[in-house]
Amino acid sequence: MSRIFSKYQGGGVHISGSRPVQGLETGDPSQKRFSGVVPPAAPLIFLALLCIAGAILWLDHNETLTILLLHPREVTADETPPPEEPSDICKNQRTPPAGSAALPRGIVQDKSNFEFEPLGRNPEMKELPPAKSLLAIPVGIKQKTVVDKLVSKFPAANFTLMLFHYDGVVEGWSDLPWSRRAVHVAAADQTKWWFGKRFLHPDLVAEYDYVFLWDEDIEVDDFDPLRYLDIVRKEGLEISQPALDRRSKIHQQLTARARRGGAVHRRFYKTVGGGRCYGNSTGPPCTGWVEMMVPVFSRAAWRCAWRMIQNDLVFAWGLDFKLGYCAQGDRTMNVGIVDSEYVLHRGIPTLGDAGDGKPATAAAGRSAVRQRSSTEMQIFNRRWSEAVAEDECWTDPYPEPPTATTKD
């Protein structure tokens, strides 16, 4: 695809390499209830109840759940079922994605991707694309060298690349060999989570096995993306991050590279002082948790996490502690830190730095940004508590307070 570079003009959002995005939200209400973590026994009870009621439970790619209620009827051995009237068939169809009821089913495509199309290719001869993952990074031109090294580690055959230009500078990257295969999105002074919420809708990234939503100030000398993917698949990690080299700016000990060898760790221990973590700790920051600087999400985990990101809380403080709800099961097992492939976090305060949120931008002073970050955390936690209180159908799979924060 020949790319159209939009010159950056302050205030606007520009995408090159992809078409404008419309009608993202499918609004499928059945998806909502089942995208989170469900306590282990609940699905079984639910299934049993449905079977008794003579219903069929239909799981579609583990992502949407649709219930087809059949008319109960007596079954005899030689009875051939009467042919279904068209009206019955229509009744039994799945709820169409919002907005598509006016169209014949077969024409509706509710998912897309960021793959470039060679314009001269015969569209009849479409071969199945190889499985890929997505690397998305907020970048500023000042970090060009370190971003170049980072991106160059990710093979083009296995990763689609998306850059979020928070300084609006797009042309400055065009001399790099990989620049033409990247999708470039520019919006002035916006954060990683602002971009992620707006441009990584789950229906747009549904083809990618994993979503890497990374900060830019990351050194990858000891990191191999393909080996990382192997480990994550083998260990069943739905949400993960590479361990942080101990020379990094480390905010939480769980994410530091384990001193003892091994591919992965899922918890850490702290048996003295405040904030203790034991083998029986069940939640963050002892276990079931990663930091927001280099997270990697499975397709299913991202589908859930994207829904938890709040449009207006652009620093996403507080979100990390709740990510375990998107782990597709037990967060102490499905969330982990990969030690054998690790990175160095330079800790340069930029808009990409979700860790301590001190971007030095023209638009906002550091102290204003820091203030906003912590206010956002209060708002997010308040919304969470209110949502829990209001939703009578929701059961908290992690009801106990994290043991780590137990005071002495």
Ligand X SMILES: *[C@@H]1O[C@H](CO)[C@@H](O)[C@H](O)[C@H]1NC(C)=O
Please identify, using beta-carbon distances, which residue of 128 and 389 lies nearer to ligand X: 128
Applying CB under 6 A, which of residues 6, 30, 92, 158 lies at the interface with ligand X?
A: 158
Which of residues 283 and 355 has its CB atom nearest to ligand X in the complex? 283
Q: Give me the least distance between CB of 231 and ligand X, in Å please.
A: 11
Rounded least distance, CB 173 to ligand X, Å: 24
Q: What x-and-dash track marks residues 269-288 binding ligand X by CB under 6 A?
A: ---------x-x--------
| Whether the Cβ atoms of residue 394 and residue 275 lie closer than 8 Å to each other | no
Q: What is the DSSP string of 157-219?
A: TTEEEEEEETT---GGGTTSTTGGGEEEEE-TT--HHHHHHHH--TTTSTTEEEEEE--SSEE
CB of 131 or CB of 387, closer to ligand X? 131
Helix (H, G, I), strand (E, B) or coil at 126: coil
Of 41-60, which residues contact ligand X (CB under 6 A)?
none
Q: What does the alpha-carbon distance between residue 260 and residue 143 come to, in Å, rounded to a whole number?
A: 33
Q: Residue 360 to residues 189, 349, 363, 364: CA-CA distances in angstroms?
A: 10, 7, 9, 7
Residues 118-147 that bind ligand X (CB under 6 A): 130-131
Q: Residues binding ligand X: what is the number (CB under 6 A)?
A: 9
Tokens coding 368: 């204003």
Q: How do beta strands 239-244 and 182-186 pair?
A: unpaired
> According to the binding rule CB under 6 A, does residue 405 interact with ligand X?
no
Mapped onto helix, strand or coil, the DSSP state of residue 41 is coil
Of 120 and 130, which CB lies nearer to ligand X in the complex structure? 130
| 2 forms part of the interface with ligand X (CB under 6 A) | no
Calpha distance 60→35 (Å, rounded): 12
Residue selected from 229, 232, 327, 354 as contacting ligand X according to rule CB under 6 A: 229
SS3 of 125, please?
helix
* Residues listed for the chain: 408
Placement of tokens 């001869």 in the chain: 125
Q: Nearest distance from residue 78's CB to ligand X, in Å?
A: 52
Tell me the closest approach of the beta carbon of residue 143 to ligand X, in angstroms: 27
Paired tokens of 167: 């300084």
- Which C-beta is closer to ligand X: that of 4 or that of 157? 157
Query: 209-228 mask for ligand X (x: CB under 6 A)?
Result: -----------------x--
Nearer to ligand X, 278 or 394 (CB): 278
Task: Decide if residue 403 touches ligand X (CB under 6 A).
Answer: yes
Q: What DSSP character marks residue 142? A: G
Query: Encoding tokens for residue 7?
Result: 């010159």
Among 102, 157, 362, 389, interactor with ligand X by CB under 6 A: 157
Residues that bind ligand X (CB under 6 A): 130-131, 157-158, 226, 229, 278, 280, 403
